[in-house]
Amino acid sequence: MKALFYFTPTLFLTVSCSSQTTQFPIVPATPPAKKIAVERIGSIDNENVALTLSNLRSLVQRNNPNLAAARKLIDAAQGRLQKAGLRSNPTVEVEFETTANLREPFLIAGISRSFPRTNRLLLEKRVSAPLVEAARAEVANAERLLVGEAREQLVEVLALREVKGLLQEQSENAQELADFINEAAARGEASLLEVPTAEIEVTRIHTKAEQIQIQIDLAEAKLKPILGFNPEAKLAVAGALPPTSLPPMQVSVPRDRPDLVAAKLRAKSATENIHLTQAEGIPDYDLGVYAGLGREEDEPEGGELEGIIGVRFSMPLGRDPKTPGALREAHAERDRLDLTTLALRKSITAEVRAAYGEMAQWQKLAVRINQDLIPKARENLFQIRTAYQDGQVPLQDVLRAREQELSLKLTLIEARQNFHKARSRYLTATNG
């Protein structure tokens, strides 16, 4: 009973110190904008999905493997937040001493624990909490870039398919002209020398269409990994290039752009880290209790049990000498992140304006080609073809007029393609 009396305080402090029930409030970080949605969506059957510009984002979100890997950044940040602000475990000490003849043994047991002299544990939470939201924003930014890349590749596929369709139409017209020349030559109304020329024109257009198909296959091969498709999977692309209509110009910097959100949150965390560095410069103090029990020889009464109980307290003197250097580093990191955020805002502004200006130029060119040049080329081809059927002009004039019309139509498709690629960059820049 006497031994239990001496060791009961030590056991009580051991149990209390081992508990980690003390919770420090987690300071919520500034919530990112609504566009930052990074939770993984269920898988889908790729073989039964028709790829369009409207469902492109959902396919990237669900299937892109790099995006799935990037989501682990959120788990890592949450793990750092989970371990922040926790006190260290208590330390148990046991000491045994005796005399040389082993007749006076004495056992001392104690427990001690460090206690912060500042609000360091709370500051650790404040430093880590914004980094969780920053990780979410960085994953959303990776999604933004992947969707932008996939959108540009899809625009190229749609444009090349239009080119291939145009070439097939031109091939049919060229074959029709070749058949007309063959029939006219059989009747003696056209020169036999024009027959090979017409057939060569048909072959030339066929060859160009095959080259376009190779480009389509290459563009689809680049698009499949972004969508998480297997290389051997068939890519079902639906729809066509939309009209070249300019969206409203966004004058201000988009606040919900994920990389800007992440930069602000990291700068906020760096500011809190300065306070944490200052708090860490004040060392913790240690508090503990101990109790001992032993046998002591006392002549002539003989041996008897002796017990002790006490409290230990220790505190380092002064501040940590590494603190000034650590503070200088923390201030520099905070300033660097602030300057990076400012530079990013300027870069976003330039990116948005450049993409919008490029869109406007390509739209202007497309409208001029479609409304002015192509109607003139079509009318010129009709007149020259009529004149050729009447024997007034040679076949080369018909082929030249047909080539002019085809060239203008191909230029129109190219202008529309470049417009939508610029529009994709604009949507990516504005987080659209």
Contact predicate 198/395, CB 8 Å: yes
Number of folded domains that form the chain: 1
What CATH number does residue 309 fall under? 1.20.1600.10
Q: Which of 29, 60, 36 is nearest to 46 (CA)?
A: 60
Distance CA 405, CA 178 (A): 18
- pLDDT value at position 39? 39
CB atoms within 10 A of CB 315: 12
Distance CA 32, CA 140 (A): 10
Give, as one character, the DSSP assignment of residue 51.
B
Distance CA 46, CA 234 (A): 9
CA torsion through residues 7, 9, 12, 17, sign:
negative
Q: How far is CA 224 from the centre of its chain?
A: 18
- pLDDT value at position 81? 93
Look at strands 302-314 and 285-298 and give their pairing.
Answer: antiparallel
| Residues forming beta bridges with residue 269, ordered by sequence position | none
Q: Got the DSSP string for 184-208?
A: HHHTTSS-TTHHHHHHHHHHHHHHH
pTM of the model: 0.79
Residues 380-414: b if buried by 16+ CB within 10 A, e if exposed:
ebeebbeebeeeebebebbbebbebbbebbbebbb
Give, as one character, the DSSP assignment of residue 44.
-
Looking up tokens 């051997």, which residue turns up? Answer: 232
Round the average pLDDT of the chain to a whole number and report it. Answer: 83
Give the side-chain half-sphere CA count within 13 A for 48: 3
Q: What angle do CA 244, 247, 252 make, to 5 degrees?
A: 150
Domain region containing 44:
2-429
- pLDDT value at position 48? 59
- pLDDT value at position 189? 61
Distance CA 186, CA 173 (A): 20
Percent helix / strand / coil, the chain, rounded to 5: 65, 10, 25
- pLDDT value at position 301? 67
| Residues forming beta bridges with residue 109, ordered by sequence position | 94, 291
Q: How far is CA 42 from the centre of its chain?
A: 19
Residue 41: C-alpha distances to residues 58, 60, 142, 212, 384 (Å) = 8, 10, 16, 35, 59
The low-confidence residues of the chain, meaning pLDDT below 50, are 1-7, 9-13, 15, 18-46
Distance CA 207, CA 213 (A): 10
Give start and end residues of each alpha helix (H) in 237-373: 258-280, 323-368
Q: How far is CA 423 from the centre of its chain?
A: 20
